[in-house]
Structures are given as C-alpha cells and as structure tokens.
Amino acid sequence: MSDGLEVADLNAYYGTSHILFGIALEVRAGECVCLLGRNGVGKSTTLKSIMGLVAHRTGTVSFDGHDLIGLAPHQIARLGLGYAPDERLIFPDLTVRDNLEIAVKPAARAGLEPWTIERIYALFPKLAELDGRAGGYLSGGEQQMLTVGRALMGNPALLLLDEPVEGLAPVVVQELTRQIEHLKDTGLAILFAEQNLAFAARVAERAYIIEGGRVRYAGRLEDLEQQPEVKRQYLMV
C-alpha cells in the first residue's frame, strides 16, 4: 500500500465522446503538483474523474491504497480528497458561515490538524469580515476563497483545485498564491489545474502537461525552462 494518489491508464467519456486517453500521474503525500494545459484539453475532466464526478471512466485511480474507481464522490471525499470546482458552486442565499457549516466533516487525517471555521477565517481573513454576508454578494476572489474553505472543511489529505486563480485580479491572485503556499506548509497535498505556466511554477514543483486528453510531458517545472518546444506546443506563454 502506498501513500498518495496514483492514476494509471485513466480513460473518461462524456456520452460517446472519448475525452481522456490513458492518463497516468501520481501525487505523493504533501506534494503540490500541477495539471497544465490550454483550454479544453481535459484538465477538469481529469480532476472530476479522480473525484468520481465523471460516471463513465476506466483505469486505475487509487488513494492511499484504496481503489476509487466505482466509488461515489461522497465516499471519495471520506477517504481524504477535497475538491474545489472551477464553477465555485457556493450557495448564493446562505451566509459565508453557513456555506462552510454545510460542508461534510469527516474526521481529520493523521498528522493533519482538523479544520474549523475559525481556522478557515485565520487563513482567509476576508471571509471572517464577510461572516454574515450572503454568498451571492461575494466578489470572484472571495467566492474562490469560500470554495477552497468549504473543501478544507472536509479535512482532506489531498486537495483538488480547478483553476483557482482564473479570472481574478492580480492582487487577488497574489493573495491566493500566499494562501495556497500556506496550505502546502500544513502538509496538505495539492493537485491543481492551471493554464498559466508562471502561476504554476510559483506554487508547484512538478507538472503534467495535458493536451488532447493525454499527458504530453511529466517533470519538474524548472526543467521546462529548457524545453521551449514543449512550451510552444502545449502552453500559453
């Protein structure tokens, strides 16, 4: 039994459309890894397939030795995976606090401090100020913080983040970058989808570049600097 996430030969389909072709990747305990690639290449589908949100998927997805293929999203969450979707599905009529309260709360993982609303507010001070505000009145950045906060309330050991800074103003991106770095320091493993190489390189050590539903490059982000051809072919730079 090994620690962390292992994906091998993952195929995913929407209806009759074959979207992922044999994706293989791994995220070890405490690691921060990026799924890089342009729009429409299969990053979100990969995260959703790991989380059990794509009904038709085949291959191997295991976490801490548990087979996730065939499990429902709530069962996968209980095994230690958290997911912050790109659509930032917060409840517009509930307050910030209630959006956090409503999250599932499995027991904390060994070695990781359990999350409470107070601890979420310490990480995201803006949310503390907005405690009683309805979710529908938050800015994009505040909604993103709330989405991440809600995923953290499930006490994950691995957090899946789908384009966490997309569409946010540069100053908010900087703030979220610091907060994600803080999360890494707590020992949480993170797998995030991203289109922008610069942001990816700021927070992740390794990346998988996806294109056409396949992994085209796997390696350290700093080594990509010596791979202009890979960057030109698969990334927006």
Ligand X SMILES: Nc1ncnc2c1ncn2[C@@H]1O[C@H](COP(=O)(O)OP(=O)(O)O)[C@@H](O)[C@H]1O
- Measured from the CB of residue 54, what is the shortest distance to Mg ion in angstroms? 13
Strand ranges (E), the chain? 5-14, 17-27, 32-36, 56-63, 66-67, 81-84, 158-162, 189-194, 206-211, 214-220
Rounded CA-CA distance 115/128 in Å is: 15
Minimum CB distance to ligand X smaller for 37 or for 82: 37
Interface ranges with ligand X (CB under 6 A): 14, 17, 19, 37, 39-45
Residue 193 Cβ, how far from ligand X at the closest point, in Å? Answer: 6
* 66 vs 231 by CB, closer to ligand X: 231
Whether 7 and 25 have beta carbons less than 8 Å apart is answered as yes
Smallest distance from ligand X to CB 43, Å: 3
Question: Closer CB to Mg ion, residue 144 or residue 155?
Answer: 144
Q: Under the rule (CB under 5 A), what is the footprint of Mg ion?
A: 43-44
Cβ 42 to Mg ion shortest distance, Å: 8
Query: 157: number of CA atoms within 13 Å, CB side?
Result: 19
Q: Which is nearer to ligand X, 123 or 148 (CB)?
A: 148
147 contact choice in ligand X, Mg ion, none (CB below 5 to 8 Å, kind-dependent): none
Q: At closest approach, how far in Å is the CB of 98 from ligand X?
A: 29
- What φ, ψ does residue 224 adopt, rounded to 5°? -65, -25
CB of 147 to ligand X, least distance (A): 16
Answer with the entry of Mg ion, ligand X, none that 41 interacts with (C-beta below 5 to 8 A by kind).
Answer: ligand X
Rounded CA gap, 15 and 56, in Å?
8
Toward ligand X, which CB reaches closer, 115 or 192?
A: 192
152 binds, among ligand X, Mg ion, none (CB under 5 to 8 A by kind): none
Select the binding partner of residue 144 from Mg ion, ligand X, none (C-beta < 5 to 8 A, by kind). none
16 contact, one of ligand X, Mg ion, none, CB 5-8 Å limit per kind: none
Q: Which is nearer to Mg ion, 51 or 79 (CB)?
A: 51
CA distance 54 to 108: 26
145 to 41, 72, 206: CA distances (angstroms): 25, 25, 24
Q: How many residues does the chain have?
A: 237
- DSSP reduced 3-state for 11: strand
Task: Report the partner that residue 179 touches, choosing among ligand X, Mg ion, none (CB closer than 5 to 8 A by kind).
Answer: none
Q: Residues near 134 by Cβ (< 8 Å), separated by ≥ 6? A: 92, 93, 94, 95
